[in-house]
Amino acid sequence: MSQLEERGGAPERKNQTQSKLGLWVQSIFFLCVFIAILFIPAGRLDWLAGWAFLGLFVLAVGIIAIWARRHDPELMEERQTASRAENVKRWDRVIMAVYTVLLLLMLILAGVDAGRLGWSDIPLWLRILGWLGLGVAFGIVWWVMAENTYLSEMVRIQEERGHQVVTSGPYQYVRHPMYVGVIIAILSVPLALGSWWALVPGVLIVFLFILRTALEDRTLMEELPGYKQYAEQVRYRLAPGIW
């Protein structure tokens, strides 16, 4: 290797190291915020359901992120930078902002209810169902990410990446399987944590994602070549036989 190649490789390695360090800092910061959102409203640190949920979430997200970073780094890059793209739909920015507020409210209510005041009395079998639902939801999310390299966090056509219609895997059954996983997860979290009150913002999130599905589907029909033909073959957006 020439000295020029060695000098050229050094800045690249330095940038990669800085990128990894920045990612670790962001992850630790996010984890601290997550802990605060759950346990400050709960008013105690011995809330076992809260720690179990936190552990499952970190484990699932970590596994999916490590897998995606090794097998599809372009997907990870897209999901990390999509919100800064110029062609993100304005209505989607509004929807995601409302979603963030409702998600925070759901977790805070779960902490206050199940962790501190004990307003709700959810049967054990429903709590178990909630934990199983979370496992199913994370499985669906991984499956979708494994099949769709264009799975952005925001609604936009990725022309710079040669955006194409994906028809394999879960996309054989519904047109928006990622949202199926999100909806299952949102409805499962309040049950797993033991809070009926947290279901109120959870249900609102479900309706919000149904709206997002309809708007995104219309966008893809109008702007993504081949999507109309795909929609003729896969008729349902979220629920086979229903919608």
Question: pLDDT tens for residues 15-42?
Answer: 455 556 666 677 788 888 889 999 999 9
Note if the pTM is more than 0.75: yes
Residue 193: Cβ within 10 Å count = 28
**Which tokens belong to 214?**
């309809």
**Which tokens belong to 222?**
């109008």
- The values of phi and psi at residue 170, to 5°, are -65, -15
* Average pLDDT value for the chain: 90
pLDDT attached to residue 224:
95
Cα 15 from Cα 224, distance rounded (Å): 34
Tell me the pLDDT tens digit for each residue of 163-210: 999 999 999 999 999 999 999 999 999 999 999 999 999 999 999 999
Could you give the C-alpha distances from 132 to 18, 59, 82, 100, 236, in angstroms and in order?
Answer: 38, 15, 31, 24, 25
Residue 79 — pLDDT band, cuts 50, 70, 90?
A: confident
